[in-house]
């Protein structure tokens, strides 16, 4: 079990519950060492100290068992109270409360429909409920050189998840995109389906899939609407305490132009709130508008602020 840091007040009750006569059998230095470990609230440390005391004082094993049992009982109670308090806080949170997120600001270099460098910015927000999760994200890549816009790409998306079981969830997604250099003034997508958390400890992997609908409004005029299928995967792996590898991929497959996107990145923490990210994004459209190439790539270096 993961060590928790719980301070002295609750554990004093635990020690008080131990019979005085039995407690007195332990040598004073051993009692002081166990008390000091309990005051830290570190479960691993408490177990280690008690096992050492059991080795050096085998005749006091029964008393040590009582001390450990009281500690475990108090620890479980504190965990239950903490979980109940956390759930109550989530249930009573207002619309604008309990959001967390990150903002990114940096530069990019692209090739494909436009070969240039420019500025990139993004914002991602997440709100976790008991069974619901809300995710908002937006990104803008923009450059204007000598009065001429050479890149203009915007994305905004909202996704809501409903937890069906510990790993299985349902999702609904709405997304808006604009990219003049890919030939569309607006592209709207909507999808709903099921997702599954394949890996939850160490490396994490979440996948989702479902039917989708997409409407594309072309710069040259006209629009198209298609039924489609969406599949996506989100993989994160903490390589060290400060470096994380990320791989996000999604595919929207339809009878017209299907879209495949892959975003690969490395993120290095500078402090608790700040980190730097290097990423490489490939977007491929199987049948883009006339005048646009099929594959765009984008290399970004950004500074991330988490909150």
Q: Looking at 62, 91, 120, which one is the last position of a domain?
A: 91
Q: Give the span between the Cα atoms of 199 and 267, in whole angstroms.
A: 20
User: Same domain, yes or no, for 164 and 288?
Assistant: yes
Q: Looking at 34, 57, 91, which one is the last position of a domain?
A: 91
105 alpha carbon, distance to own chain's centre? 19
For residues 150-160, give the mean pLDDT. Answer: 93
- pLDDT tier, 303 (very low <50, low <70, confident <90, very high otherwise): very high
Is residue 1, in this structure, part of any structural domain at all? no
Is residue 270, in this structure, part of any structural domain at all? yes
User: Same domain, yes or no, for 212 and 300?
Assistant: yes
Looking at residue 110, what is its pLDDT?
66
User: Same domain, yes or no, for 78 and 182?
Assistant: no
User: Same domain, yes or no, for 125 and 166?
Assistant: yes
Looking at residue 257, what is its pLDDT?
87
Is residue 181, in this structure, part of any structural domain at all? yes
User: Same domain, yes or no, for 133 and 277?
Assistant: yes
**Residue 247 pLDDT > 90:** yes
Is residue 3, in this structure, part of any structural domain at all? no
Is residue 234, in this structure, part of any structural domain at all? yes
Q: Give the span between the Cα atoms of 35 and 218, in whole angstroms.
A: 72
Is residue 52, in this structure, part of any structural domain at all? yes
User: Same domain, yes or no, for 207 and 257?
Assistant: yes
Looking at residue 95, what is its pLDDT?
74
**Residue 10 pLDDT > 50:** no
User: Same domain, yes or no, for 178 and 265?
Assistant: yes
**Residue 146 pLDDT > 70:** no
Q: Are 227 and 254 in contact (CB under 8 A)?
A: yes
Is residue 140, in this structure, part of any structural domain at all? yes
User: Same domain, yes or no, for 16 and 114?
Assistant: no
User: Same domain, yes or no, for 116 and 73?
Assistant: no
**pTM tops 0.75, yes or no:** no
Residue whose token pair is 């619309």 = 95
Q: Residue 20 sits in which domain range?
A: 8-91
Q: Looking at 39, 72, 91, which one is the last position of a domain?
A: 91
Better-scored residue on pLDDT, 60 or 244: 244
User: Same domain, yes or no, for 28 and 159?
Assistant: no
Q: Give the span between the Cα atoms of 125 and 271, in whole angstroms.
A: 20
Is residue 2, in this structure, part of any structural domain at all? no
Domain count, the chain: 2
């Amino acid at each position: 079990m993961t060590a928790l840091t719980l301070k002295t007040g609750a554990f004093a009750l635990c020690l008080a519950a131990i019979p005085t006569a039995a407690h007195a059998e332990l040598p004073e230095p051993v009692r002081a060492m166990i008390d000091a470990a309990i005051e830290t609230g570190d479960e691993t440390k408490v177990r280690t100290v008690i096992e050492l005391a059991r080795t050096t004082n085998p005749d006091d094993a029964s008393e040590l068992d009582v001390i450990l049992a009281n500690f475990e009982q108090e620890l479980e109670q504190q965990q239950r109270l903490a979980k109940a308090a956390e759930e109550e806080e989530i249930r009573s949170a207002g619309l604008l409360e309990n959001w967390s997120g990150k903002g990114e600001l940096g530069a990019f270099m692209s090739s494909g429909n436009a070969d240039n460098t420019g500025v990139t910015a993004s914002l991602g927000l997440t709100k976790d409920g008991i069974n619901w999760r809300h995710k908002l994200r937006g990104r803008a890549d923009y450059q204007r050189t000598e009065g001429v816009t050479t890149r203009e790409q915007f994305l905004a998306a909202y996704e809501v998840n409903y937890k069906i079981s510990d790993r299985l969830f349902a999702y609904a997604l709405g997304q808006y995109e604009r990219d003049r250099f890919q030939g569309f003034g607006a592209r709207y997508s909507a999808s709903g389906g099921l997702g599954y958390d394949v890996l939850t400890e160490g490396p994490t992997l979440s996948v989702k899939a479902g039917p989708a609908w997409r409407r594309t409004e072309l710069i040259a005029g006209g629009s198209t609407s298609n039924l489609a299928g969406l599949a996506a995967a989100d993989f994160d792996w903490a390589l060290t305490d400060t470096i994380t590898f990320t791989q996000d991929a999604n595919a929207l497959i339809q009878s017209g132009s299907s879209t495949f996107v892959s975003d690969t990145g490395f993120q290095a923490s500078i402090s608790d709130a700040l980190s730097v990210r290097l990423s490489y994004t490939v977007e491929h459209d199987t049948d883009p508008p006339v005048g646009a190439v099929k594959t765009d790539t984008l290399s970004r270096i950004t500074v991330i602020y988490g909150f």
